[in-house]
Amino acid sequence: MLCRSCNLSTRARLRQTLVNSRPFTSSLRRHGYDNTIGNLKIGDDTRVIFQGFTGKQATANAQESIAWGTNIVGGVRPGKTGEHLGLPVLPTVRKAMEELKPHATGIYVAAHQATAAIEEAIEAEVPLIVAVAEHIPLHDILRIHSILQTQSKSRLVGANAPGIISAIGKCRIGFQPLPTFSPGHVGIVAKSGTLSYEAVASLTRAGLGQSLCIGMGGDVIAGTNFVDALRVFENDSDTECIVLIGEVGGTSEEEAADWIRDYKKRVQNPKPIAALIGGVCAKPGRVMGHAGAWAAPGEGNSLTKWKALENVGVTMVDHPAKFGATMKQILSSSGRDVKGIMSSANSAVNQKRGYHTHQTRPQQNTPLASSFAASEPKRSLHLQPGQSADLLQDYSIEISPAPQEGIESRLLAITIDRTARSPCIIASPTTKEGQMYQRALHIPFTYGIGPTEKQITRVLEQLHLDAAPPAAKAATVN
């Protein structure tokens, strides 16, 4: 155990911090966040607003989306009323909901403003909230999800995601490259925006358009995950087949595999699914591009995700450019009318890649660092173990030294449960290699409230500490 003791005032201070979250929902208790999955089905009748509407990026994106056909009806700029791009600007999201009746909002503000913008949209009960910003603090995302879990009105896509786009309905809420998309019947869900664009381009060149493309995003916790998207595609009459693009980090791909196994059992002629998993050849422990692209201890790597999907009959590809030909093949094998699906899509079959001109610059004689040193990724936001321990000193938490070999020890840790979208306690009665995570118990708890007494008791039982003296138990719980 790392944490040995906290004084009473520290606990009180921590709990006071945790309980200061306010409710945002008018939803009935019997409904929950899962009831909002249907809000992902956007189309030509989807009314869209932008938060941060008058900003440079939002303006450029809105102009492009409107020209493509997206029904943007206005936007929000805090404290301001007026007009922008010939559309109304309102001071709050609640006012926009009253006057413009939007079905969706795109959050086009910087990361340090995104949390407040998302919470304002939840409070106003906007059905679909799309957050594209990267670097939103993890604790802010946990707070947002603790709010989302209490309501059944708003669905979140993102954060750190390219957004969501309906090629059939000409509705884009995000920054996807429009020239690659064509209306059709392939549903796509992806962690990586870039890989999804490559997949879309491959499908379009093959004559297969897209129905709905959902960007799951690369953060540790996603507002909409693979299983959520698969549930939408299953019941979407415009979607005939599905593309899934995952990567290292979390267990979303394994959960998708479990869902697909069940789906194939209960449906006579299931929609064909092809998938790609990024990072199969990545060096273990190497820092990747996305904030969530890391495997926690006990989680599988990209190869185990690949095998999990392959074992349930998903057709795997090793490059996004292969999706077009692969989809044609598996659609035909499933007995579906490939020619009919292709003819119903106004796809740019002759689409070709464009190339930038290249100009050779004069070589400089300055010495260069070794290629190994230059390629070594670094992040200033990473904490070293010593720094992490220093942060705990503010709460008078004592740090125990690592146990010596041969001494029986237990594991008690706090991490993130990506499926539950909440903090999680991990408790294992042993730290022996090969047994620690196999015997570990995961207990998610509500952010802003903390673990309940019942959950703490369950942790004590898992650690075989439930036989401790009553005074020790009481001190642990309190």
Domain of 255: which CATH number?
3.40.50.261
- 359 lies in a domain? no
- 302 lies in a domain? yes
Query: Tell me: the pLDDT tens digits for 247-305?
Result: 998 999 999 999 999 999 999 999 999 999 998 887 776 667 788 887 887 788 999 99
DSSP designation for 254:
H
How far is it, in rounded angstroms, from Cα 420 to Cα 439? 20
Q: Which helix (H) or strand (E) holds 75?
A: strand 72-76
Q: Are residues 188 and 152 in the same domain?
A: no
Residues contacting 396, CB < 8 A, separation 6+:
6, 7, 10
- 396 lies in a domain? no
> For this structure, is 464 an active site residue?
no
Answer with the one of 334, 349, 364 that is the final residue of a domain.
349
Domain that holds residue 131: 35-161
Which of the two residues, 386 and 56, has the higher pLDDT score?
A: 56
Q: Are residues 216 and 343 in the same domain?
A: yes
233 neighbors 187 (Cβ within 8 angstroms): yes
| Helix residue spans in 301-393 (DSSP H) | 302-311, 323-333, 338-343, 371-375, 385-392
* Single-letter amino acid code for the residue at 205: R
Q: Are residues 192 and 227 in the same domain?
A: yes
Q: Are residues 186 and 328 in the same domain?
A: yes
Q: Are residues 305 and 232 in the same domain?
A: yes
- 382 lies in a domain? no
Q: Are residues 39 and 132 in the same domain?
A: yes
* Single-letter amino acid code for the residue at 104: A
Q: Are residues 205 and 323 in the same domain?
A: yes
Residues contacting 190, CB < 8 A, separation 6+:
196, 199, 213, 214, 215, 216, 243, 244, 245, 246
- 2 lies in a domain? no
How far is it, in rounded angstroms, from Cα 66 to Cα 76? 17
| Residue 160 CB neighbours (<10 A) | 26
Query: Tell me: the pLDDT tens digits for 209-220?
Result: 999 999 999 999
Strand order in the sheet with 128-131: 82-84, 87-90, 72-76, 48-51, 104-107, 128-131, 155-158
**Residue 434 tokens, joined:** 């090969």
26 neighbors 125 (Cβ within 8 angstroms): yes
How far is it, in rounded angstroms, from Cα 201 to Cα 205? 6
- 168 lies in a domain? no
Query: Tell me: the pLDDT tens digits for 301-318?
Result: 999 999 999 999 999 999
* Single-letter amino acid code for the residue at 252: S
- 372 lies in a domain? no
Q: Are residues 240 and 149 in the same domain?
A: no
Domain count, the chain: 3
Q: Are residues 323 and 461 in the same domain?
A: no
Q: What does the DSSP assignment read for 188-223?
A: EEES-HHHHHHHHHHHHHTT--EEEEEE--SSSS-S
**Could you give the angle at which helices 470-477 and 453-462 cross, rounded to 10 degrees?**
130
Q: Are residues 440 and 305 in the same domain?
A: no
Q: What does the DSSP assignment read for 438-466?
A: TS-EEEE--TTT---HHHHHHHHHHTT-T
Query: Tell me: the pLDDT tens digits for 369-401?
Result: 444 444 444 444 556 767 777 888 888 887 777
73 neighbors 171 (Cβ within 8 angstroms): no
Mean pLDDT of 351-355: 51
**pLDDT higher than 50, residue 6:** no
| Residue 100 CB neighbours (<10 A) | 19
- 16 lies in a domain? no
Q: Are residues 106 and 230 in the same domain?
A: no
Q: Are residues 312 and 426 in the same domain?
A: no
Handedness of CA 9, 449, 256, 46 (dihedral sign): negative
pTM of the entire structure? 0.84
374 neighbors 368 (Cβ within 8 angstroms): yes
Answer with the one of 136, 161, 186 that is the final residue of a domain.
161
Catalytic residue chosen out of the listed positions 84, 139, 290, 442:
290
Q: What is the CATH number of the domain that holds 122?
A: 3.40.50.720
